[in-house]
């Protein structure tokens, strides 16, 4: 970060020089929450990492993910930027668990419901005393944490539904076919409509195919299949790390108006496509 962005003004005169990755060296209060003493941070973070890191995969991992977000904020390890770290951690763990596939993120949902985000977080951080025998097992209330977890799961579901509607995966085969037809008939780029089956397969699996497998799936003759595959790579509809390496699904800018018309309407206004 630029040096000027590492200087945080607090009040009229107080200034905080941020050292990236350094734990806070002072006591802080955020709203009603008095954060733990700064000298307790290493032990608290070690316990946080061990407890939530050992959660089994599945539903328990999602509950732990939401709770870990709140507990990291409760610990408040840094002098500045704690919220960004918390949100990025949640995004990264969801990705690592295989839930997002790079197609959605809870960060959009947090931003769109910022008031509720901060309200639920504050209620969970407030250190309210236990409200009766049914409110958790410790000294503090569990109700705020449960409400926070409900909110996080609601945000995740909302974002999955939002992106599912935009991407409309069930219609992707038809949209790939439209792109191939445009390439073949209007641009005469060398792309062939017979490439639909292997292209759609690569999209669905997110994996790779040997070039020979891809050509076989087109049903074309060897020479025609080689020419069609080369055209797909040249147009960015296929990606490959080496001239003879495996191929994977590509997302060139010029194809977005076919693949994701609701997600990228601006693609219609792109400069006229030219065949290279």
Confidence at residue 261, expressed as pLDDT on a 0 to 100 scale: 84
Q: Can you give the pLDDT at residue 128?
A: 60
- Residue 40 makes CB contacts below 8 A (sequence gap 6+) with none
Give me the pLDDT at residue 264, please.
57
pLDDT, residue 276, reads 39
Each residue's pLDDT expressed in tens, for the chain with a length of 276 residues? 787 777 776 665 556 677 888 899 889 888 888 899 999 999 999 999 999 988 888 899 999 999 999 999 999 999 888 999 999 999 999 999 989 877 889 999 999 999 999 999 988 876 665 565 555 555 556 888 899 999 999 999 999 999 888 888 889 999 999 999 999 999 999 999 999 999 999 998 889 999 999 999 999 999 999 999 999 999 999 999 999 999 999 999 999 889 988 765 554 554 344 333
**Cα–Cα nearest to 197, from 221, 175, 181, 173:** 173
The pLDDT, as a whole number, for residue 231 is 97
- Secondary structure of the chain: what % helix, strand, coil (to 5)? 60, 10, 35
Q: What is the pLDDT of residue 275?
A: 38
Confidence (pTM): 0.67
- Specify whether the CB–CB gap between 246 and 210 falls below 8 A: yes
Q: How far is CA 30 from the centre of its chain?
A: 28
DSSP 8-state class, residue 56: P
User: Rounded to whole angstroms, how far apart are CA atoms 114 and 268?
Assistant: 32
| Run of H or E residues at 174 | helix 172-181
The structural domains of the chain, ordered by start, are 3-167 (1.10.3290.10), 169-269 (1.10.10)
pLDDT at 265: 57
């Amino acid at each position: 970060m630029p040096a000027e962005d590492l200087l945080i003004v607090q009040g009229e005169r107080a200034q905080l020089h941020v050292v990236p990755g350094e734990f806070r060296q002072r006591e802080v209060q955020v709203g009603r929450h008095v954060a733990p003493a700064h000298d307790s941070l290493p032990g608290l973070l070690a316990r946080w990492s061990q407890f939530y890191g050992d959660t089994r995969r599945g539903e328990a991992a999602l509950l732990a993910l939401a709770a870990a977000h709140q507990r990291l904020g409760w610990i408040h390890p840094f002098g500045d930027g704690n919220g960004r770290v918390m949100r990025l951690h949640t995004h990264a763990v969801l990705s690592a668990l295989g839930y997002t596939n790079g197609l959605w993120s809870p960060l959009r949902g947090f931003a769109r419901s910022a008031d509720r985000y901060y309200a639920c977080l504050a209620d969970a951080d407030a250190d309210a005393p236990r409200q009766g025998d049914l409110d958790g097992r410790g000294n503090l209330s569990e109700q705020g944490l449960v409400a926070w977890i409900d909110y996080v799961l609601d945000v995740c579901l909302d974002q999955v539904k939002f992106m599912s509607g935009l991407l409309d995966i069930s219609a992707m085969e038809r949209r790939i076919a439209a792109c191939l037809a445009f390439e073949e008939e209007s641009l005469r780029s060398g792309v062939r409509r017979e490439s639909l089956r292997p292209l759609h397969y690569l999209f669905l699996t997110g994996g790779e195919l040997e070039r020979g497998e891809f050509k076989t799936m087109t049903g074309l003759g060897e020479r025609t299949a080689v020419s069609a595959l080369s055209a797909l790579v040249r147009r960015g509809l296929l990606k490959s790390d080496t001239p003879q390496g495996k191929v994977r699904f590509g997302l060139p800018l010029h194809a977005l108006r076919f693949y994701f018309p609701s997600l990228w309407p601006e693609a219609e206004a792109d400069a006229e496509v030219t065949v290279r």
